[in-house]
Structure 1
Amino acid sequence: MGRFSPKGDCLNAVTWPTPQPPYPEAVLKAVVQGIQELDPDDRAIAIGMGVPGPVDAAGRVARRAINLGWYDVHVSDTLEHLTAKPTIIGNDANCAGLGEAWLGAGRQFQNLILLTLGTGVGGAIILNGELFVGHDGTAGELGLITLDYNGAPCNSGNRGSLEQHVSAQAIRRRLGCEPHELDQRARQGDTEAIAFWQQYGRELAAGIASLVYVLTPEAVIIGGGISAGSDLFFPSMIAELEERVLPTSRSNLQCLRATLGNQAGMVGAAKLAWQFVKKQF
Structure 2
Amino acid sequence: MTPSDPGAGLAGADTTLVRRWNRRTVLSTLRENPQITLATMTKLTGLSRPTLSAVLEELTQRGLVQAHAPATGGSGRPARRYGFRATAGYALGLHFSPSKVLALATDLDGSITARGSIEMSPGTPAPDRLEAARALAERTAAEAGPIWTVGAATTGVVDPEGRVLRSSQISGWTGLDLTGTVSGWFDCAAVAGNDGTLAALGEKWQGVARYADDVALILSGHPSGQGMVLGGRAHHGRSGAAGELGRLLHDQTWNAAAVLDEAGRTAEEVFRSAAEGEEEASRVADHLAHHTARAASVLVSVLDPELVVVAGELTVGGRRFEQAVRAQLETMCINVPAVALSVLGDDVVPLGAVRMALDALEAKEYVRDA
Name the TM-score, length of structure 2 as normaliser.
Answer: 0.63
* Separation of aligned partners in 1, 2:122 and 2:278: 41
- Residue equivalent to 1:124: 227
Gaps of 5+ in 1: 147-153
Per mean C-alpha deviation after superposition, the further-off stretch among 235-244 and 215-224 is 235-244
1:204-262 CA-partner distances (Å, limit 9, x unpaired): 3344333212101111001121221143433333223234332xx33xx2100011111
Residues 1:77 and 2:161 are matched in the alignment: no
1:98 partnered with 2:201: yes
User: Is the Cα–Cα contact under 8 Å of residues 147 and 186 in structure 2 kept in the other structure?
Assistant: no
Q: Give the deviation of 1:95 after TM superposition.
A: 2.1
SS in 1 for 2:326: helix
Corresponding residue for residue 212 of structure 1? 300
Please report how far the alpha carbon of residue 195 of structure 1 lies from its aligned counterpart in structure 2 after TM superposition.
4.0
Q: Partners in 2 of 1:125 and 1:88 — Cα distance?
A: 18
2: distance between equivalents of 1:185 and 1:217?
Answer: 33
SS in 2 for 1:198: helix
Paired letter, 1:22: T
1:25 CA displacement? 3.0
8 Å contact from structure 1 (residues 46, 274) kept in 2: yes
Instruction: Specify the alignment match of 2:344 in structure 1.
Output: 260
Count how many residue pairs are aligned between Structure 1 and Structure 2. Answer: 261
Does the CA contact (< 8 Å) of 2:104 and 2:116 recur in 1?
Answer: yes
In the alignment, which residue of structure 2 is the partner of 1:236?
324
Contact kept, 8 Å, 1:121 with 1:142, in 2: the verdict is no
Deviation string 1:93-120 (CA, Å, 9 cap, x unpaired) is 2222211111111111111011022035
| Bigger RCO (CA 8 Å, 6+ sep) | 1
Aligned residues of 1:197 and 1:232 also touching (Cα < 8 A): no
The residue identity in structure 1 corresponding to 2:344 is L
Alignment of 1:171 with 2:260, yes or no, is: yes
Moved more, 125-134 or 47-56: 47-56
Query: Compared with structure 1, are the counterparts of its residues 241 and 75 closer, same or farther at alpha carbon in structure 2 (3 Å cutoff)?
Result: closer
Distance change (3 Å), C-alpha of 1:207 and 1:266: closer
Q: Distance in 1 between matches of 2:239 and 2:314?
A: 30
Q: Note the alpha carbon deviations across 1:53-95, whole angstroms, 9 max, x for none.
A: 211122x212233332112011222333343111111122222
Identity %: 22
Residue 125 of structure 2 is matched in structure 1 by 23
- Return the offset for 1:280: 3.7
Query: Structure 1 residues 242, 75: closer, same or farther in 2, change over 3 A?
Result: closer
**Contact conserved, 1:53 with 1:66, CA < 8 A, in 2?**
yes
Residue from 138, 149, 157 that aligns with 2:241: 138
The change in CA–CA distance for 1:213 and 1:278 in structure 2 (over 3 A counts) is: same
| Structure 2: runs of 5 or more not aligned | 1-102, 366-370
